[in-house]
């Protein structure tokens, strides 16, 4: 599972997923429009000068997502653009995304916290802040405005204005020409398009606000949500404490007085497996995947007596999606390291994923929840894994220090192919070779340099991914340059490997040349020589 996309970057009073812009598929009916006049009319329709007196706007209501009901809270700093979005759903736990004015932070269902701070993520945060403060109601000289004409969206004619704040990503505002109210926001993200819609507008203390907010993506439309706002809180001042970094939940426990724990690992056809005990049951084999989340196969959940709730979908390296549900686990142990009160996805994988002949079948995947809580040292040669709580970890080795950033949940690091620099996902779930993405190949001369190769197909969550294999001259990573490296050239149209923001994905073939230690708390990957 490459990424978990359900709770992704925020847009105004919404939560939107990963993102060609949605309106691009619908040709304009009338290409010409006066963007500033449209936005002035939108401001007037939504409350006019009353917006000049608003400091903070909060929406509280119910939400339905993945077939589950819960509570949603959204706060916008209308002055500076800070924003908070929180979902509380019993079977899934709490998910929160906060922009504190400098960094976007995300708290996933495991209770762990990490930043979204890649170049693309920072641009996303700038646009989210612009939308949260309703910058389109008061266009400044630095904001680029572009008329995309009138488009049909679900049979409704909307005027589309593309706004691009300085340092941010474009967002397409869909405005109803009859009411002049904002109906939708579309944004291109790394692998799909997000579309958030607003309806049921009502007047509240001089403002006209939407009481029905819906969101989804082209890649994972079933993974959207519908929020019914119960109340708005409109304040002239802003409470700084409403927009602070979430605190990780206290779920780590080291048993038997251990300060760290070292356990054996297995490389099954180069796939990194670790054994974990769920709720006191006998240990079961899991893939350890920096790009994954806590996942149980349907068979493993049944064996453990766990019932899944909800009906969502998840995407990964494959071109499609796969159905998911959620189950709560009281205890998950690896050696002497324990995580308590965790929410697992339950996925009905085909036998090709979990079957291992006469050996115990794969129980699922472990990922972000482990790496957020522990420093993780992987000794591929010695077949050992060491987990040290992040709160007590100090690196004392001589390994090269590689900075890590995040766009979603997979750590990203800098690398270069034949001198062409790019950002690569560092993916322990990738049991094979270096993978190069089509958009990045098109932006470099590499596709022309390596036009053909051996046809190949890989498999991951969501199905298959295809491409061809060639050996590249050099790959630079972690201060070292490797020669004659096998790489898979992809040109995927969907799935994580279709990202236009990243250069590719590196896994076993690169990482096994080192003894890597992942330290998410300090956003550093230490690469000691084998």
How many other CB atoms sit within 10 Å of the CB of residue 304? 18
**Separation between Cα atoms, residue 317 and residue 321, nearest integer Å:** 10
At 508, list the tokens. 């076993």
For 224-256, b/e burial (b = at least 16 CB within 10 A) is: bbebebeebebeeebeeebbeebebbebbebee
Shared fold status for 22-243 and 400-529: no
**Lowest pLDDT segment from 57-61, 81-85, 316-320:** 316-320
**Does residue 23 contact residue 153 with C-beta atoms inside 8 Å?**
yes
More confident residue, 6 or 178: 178
Mean pLDDT (the chain) is 89
Token duo for residue 457:
């197909």
- How many Å apart are CA 372 and CA 377, to the nearest integer? 13
Q: Are 407 and 501 in contact (CB under 8 A)?
A: yes
Lowest mean pLDDT among 182-196, 271-285, 321-335, 508-522: 321-335
Band of pLDDT at residue 223, cut at 50, 70 and 90: low
Decide: helix, strand or coil at residue 267: strand
Residue 7 scores a pLDDT above 70: no
User: Which tops the pLDDT comparison, 65 or 110?
Assistant: 110
- Counting Cα atoms < 13 Å in the Cβ hemisphere of 116 gives 27
* Tokens standing for residue 121: 């993520």
Tally: H helices and E strands in the chain: 8, 35
Domain locations in the chain as residue ranges: 22-243, 252-389, 400-529
pLDDT of residue 91: 78
Three-state SS at 364: strand
Decide if pLDDT at 144 tops 90. yes
Query: Could you tell me which residue, 300 or 9, shows the higher pLDDT?
Result: 300
Q: Are 492 and 465 in contact (CB under 8 A)?
A: yes
Percent of the chain with pLDDT over 70: 88
Asked if residue 74 has pLDDT above 80, the reply is yes
Determine the average pLDDT of the residues in 491-514.
Answer: 87
Question: What pLDDT score does 40 carry?
Answer: 96
Which residues, 6+ apart, have CB-to-CB distance to 48 below 8 Å?
none
Share of residues in the chain with pLDDT > 90 (%): 77
Distance of alpha carbon 242 from alpha carbon 6, whole angstroms: 23
Q: Please count the residues of the chain.
A: 530
- DSSP labels, 101-126: SS-EEEE-TTS-EEEE-SHHHHHHHH
The β-bridge partners of 516 are: 527
CA 84/CA 179 separation, integer angstroms: 28
Mean per-residue pLDDT, 507-519 = 97
Confidence of residue 500 (pLDDT cuts 50, 70, 90): confident
Query: What's the whole-number mean pLDDT along residues 288-316?
Result: 83
According to CATH, the superfamily of the domain at 252-389 is Acid Proteases (2.40.70.10)
Which pair of structure tokens corresponds to residue 526? 């230490």
The Cα angle at residue 99 between residues 315 and 365, in degrees rounded to 5: 30
Identify which of 315, 511, 530 has the alpha carbon closest to the alpha carbon of residue 430.
511
Kindly state the tokens that stand for 330: 């009281």
CATH T-level assignment (fold) for domain 400-529? Cathepsin D, subunit A; domain 1 (2.40.70)
**pTM as predicted:** 0.89
171-221 pLDDT, tens digit per residue, is: 999 999 999 999 999 999 887 788 999 999 999 999 999 999 999 875 454
pLDDT at 317 over 50: no
CA dist 243 and 240 (Å) reads 6
Is the pLDDT reported for residue 460 higher than 80?
A: no
pLDDT tens sequence across 379-400: 999 999 999 999 999 999 999 9
pLDDT value of position 322 = 55
Q: Which residues of 69-107 are buried (b: 16+ CB within 10 A; e: fewer)?
A: ebbbbbbbbbebbbbbbbbebebbbbbbbbbbeeebbbb
Rounded-to-integer distance, Cα 38 and Cα 101, Å: 29
Question: 175-213 burial by CB neighbour count: b if 16+ within 10 A, else e?
Answer: bbeeebbbbbbbbbbbbbbbbbbbeebeebeebbbbbeb
Task: Supply angle C-alpha 128, 130, 133, rounded to 5.
Answer: 105
The reported pLDDT for the residue numbered 140 is 81
Residue 6 confidence (pLDDT): 29
User: How many Cα atoms within 13 Å fall on the side-chain side of residue 218?
Assistant: 20
Residue with tokens 């497996």: 273
Instruction: Tell me which of 325 and 287 has the higher pLDDT.
Output: 287
Residue 319: pLDDT band with limits 50, 70, 90: very low
Residue 31 has pLDDT above 60, yes or no: no
Q: Which two tokens stand for residue 448?
A: 């022309």
Q: In which band, very low, low, confident or very high, does the pLDDT at 499 lie, cut at 50, 70 and 90?
A: confident
Q: Is the pLDDT of residue 54 over 80?
A: yes
- Tell how strand 337-347 and strand 295-297 pair up: parallel
Residue 30: per-residue pLDDT: 55
Nearest Cα neighbor of 199 from 184, 219, 180, 220 is: 184
CATH placement of domain 22-243: 2.50.20.10
Q: How far apart are CA 525 and CA 42, in angstroms?
A: 47
* pLDDT > 60? residue 20: no
- Give the pLDDT of residue 12: 33
- Residues 6 or more apart whose CB falls under 8 angstroms from that of 210 comprise 13, 182, 198, 199, 200, 201, 229
* More confident of the two residues 156 and 78: 78
Q: What is the mean pLDDT of residues 120-149?
A: 94
- pLDDT for the residue 5: 29
What pLDDT shows up at residue 16? 31
């Amino acid at each position: 599972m490459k990424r978990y996309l359900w709770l992704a970057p925020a847009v105004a009073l919404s939560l939107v997923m990963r993102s060609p812009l949605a309106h691009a598929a619908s040709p304009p009916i009338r290409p010409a429009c006066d963007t500033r006049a449209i936005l002035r009319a939108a401001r007037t329709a939504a409350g006019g000068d009353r917006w000049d007196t608003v400091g903070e706007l909060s929406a509280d209501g119910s939400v339905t997502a993945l077939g589950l009901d819960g509570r949603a809270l959204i706060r916008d700093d209308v002055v500076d653009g800070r924003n908070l979005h929180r979902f509380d759903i019993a079977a899934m736990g709490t998910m929160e995304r906060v922009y504190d004015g400098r960094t976007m932070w995300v708290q996933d269902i495991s209770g762990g916290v990490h930043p979204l701070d890649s170049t693309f993520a920072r641009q996303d945060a700038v646009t989210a802040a612009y939308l949260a403060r309703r910058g389109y109601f008061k266009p400044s000289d630095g904001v680029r405005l572009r008329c995309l004409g009138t488009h049909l969206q679900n049979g409704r004619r909307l005027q589309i204005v593309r706004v691009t704040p300085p340092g941010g990503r474009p967002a397409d505002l869909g405005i109803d020409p009859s009411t002049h109210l904002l109906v939708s926001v579309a944004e291109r993200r790394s692998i799909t398009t997000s579309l958030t819609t607003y309806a049921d507008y009502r007047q509240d203390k001089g403002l006209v606000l939407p009481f029905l907010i819906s969101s989804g993506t082209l890649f994972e439309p079933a993974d959207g949500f519908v929020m019914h706002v119960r109340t708005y809180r409109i304040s002239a001042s802003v409470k700084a404490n409403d927009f602070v970094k979430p605190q990780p939940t206290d779920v780590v426990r080291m048993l038997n007085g251990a300060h760290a724990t070292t356990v054996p690992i297995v490389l099954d056809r180069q796939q990194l497996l670790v054994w974990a005990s769920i709720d006191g049951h006998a240990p079961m084999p899991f893939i350890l995947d920096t790009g994954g989340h806590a996942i149980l196969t349907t068979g493993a959940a049944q064996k453990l007596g766990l019932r899944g709730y909800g009906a969502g979908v998840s995407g990964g390296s494959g071109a499609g999606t796969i159905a998911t549900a959620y189950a709560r686990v009281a205890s998950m142990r690896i050696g002497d390291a324990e995580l308590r009160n965790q929410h697992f996805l339950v996925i009905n994988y085909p036998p090709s994923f979990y079957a291992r002949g006469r050996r115990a079948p794969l129980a699922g995947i472990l990922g972000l929840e482990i790496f957020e809580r522990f420093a993780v040292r992987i000794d591929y040669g010695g077949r050992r894994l060491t987990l040290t709580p992040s709160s007590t970890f100090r690196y004392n080795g001589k390994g090269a220090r590689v900075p890590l950033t995040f766009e979603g949940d997979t750590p990203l690091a800098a690398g270069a192919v034949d001198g062409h620099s790019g950002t690569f996902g560092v993916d322990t779930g990738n049991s094979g070779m270096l993978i190069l993405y089509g958009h990045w190949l098109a932006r470099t001369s590499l596709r022309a340099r390596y036009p053909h190769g051996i046809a190949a197909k890989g498999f991951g969550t969501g199905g298959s991914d295809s491409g061809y294999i060639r050996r590249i001259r050099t790959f630079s990573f972690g201060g070292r340059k490797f020669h004659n490296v096998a790489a898979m050239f992809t040109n995927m149209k969907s799935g994580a490997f279709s990202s236009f923001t990243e250069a590719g994905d590196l896994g076993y073939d690169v990482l096994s040349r080192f003894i890597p230690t992942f330290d998410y708390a300090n956003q550093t990957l230490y690469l000691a020589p084998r």
